[in-house]
Amino acid sequence: MTALARALLLGLVHLLVGAQARWEGTAPARRQRIYFANHSSHLDTLVIIAALPSELRSETHPVAARDYWGATALRRYIALDVLNAVLIDRSGGEGDPLQPLAELLQAGQSLILFPEGTRGGGVIGRFRSGLYNLSLRFPAAELVPVYLENLDRIMPKKTMLVVPLICTARFGAPIAVSPGEGKAEFLARAREAVLALSDARTRRRSAAAGTAA
């Protein structure tokens, strides 16, 4: 039943938005990776999963917010059973919110991470520190930037309506923390790696938002 639900969801994504994959700086490979992408809609995770070869999906876990995806039994089923996700606590309570991710990386699994922490609506916001902290703890994991094109227009923020446009997931060349590189410098460089894969419209909007901030 779970496999059927996953196939139906991925098939629906291909039908509605195309979900094309462009491996521009790397190629699909069975090695440990942290894919980090811009976040603009509820379809983001599905598009990246659909872009991965089937043999990589079982060992690649999207990172999702517990307060949203754990709120109902249906959402938990979709996140945990269908999408193979790992839920994290964004409330800032006790404990290390990265611990569930660290456990998966320790076991040799891969992750899909959205470093902005929330949907940007077509603007790529500043990256939070999780990507940097994980990269220091697990330097063997490749850090692969991904830009999701058009999803802010296909499913705009604060709506569940889907506009049937073509979406492309662009995978860039892996990056790594340089010796002596600080957190702020690395996170800015990681954001630029995603922006470099985007179109001119997104780069202009994101640059304007960064200047305003």
Residue-range definition of the domain harbouring residue 13: 2-212
Distance of CA 94 to the CA centre of its chain: 25
Q: What is the pLDDT of residue 161?
A: 60
Distance CA 101, CA 21 (A): 25
Q: How confident is the model at residue 205, as a pLDDT?
A: 67
Q: Supply the CATH number for residue 18's domain.
A: 3.40.1130
Residue 123: predicted pLDDT: 80
Q: How far apart are the first and last CA of the chain?
A: 46
- Residue 208, pLDDT above cutoff 70: no
More confident residue, 20 or 86: 86
pLDDT tens for 12-36 read: 777 766 778 999 999 999 999 999 9
- pLDDT-derived band at 213 (thresholds 50, 70, 90) equals very low
Report how far residue 75's alpha carbon sits from residue 78's, in angstroms, rounded to the nearest whole number: 5
Give the mean pLDDT of 88-104: 84
Number of domains in the chain: 1
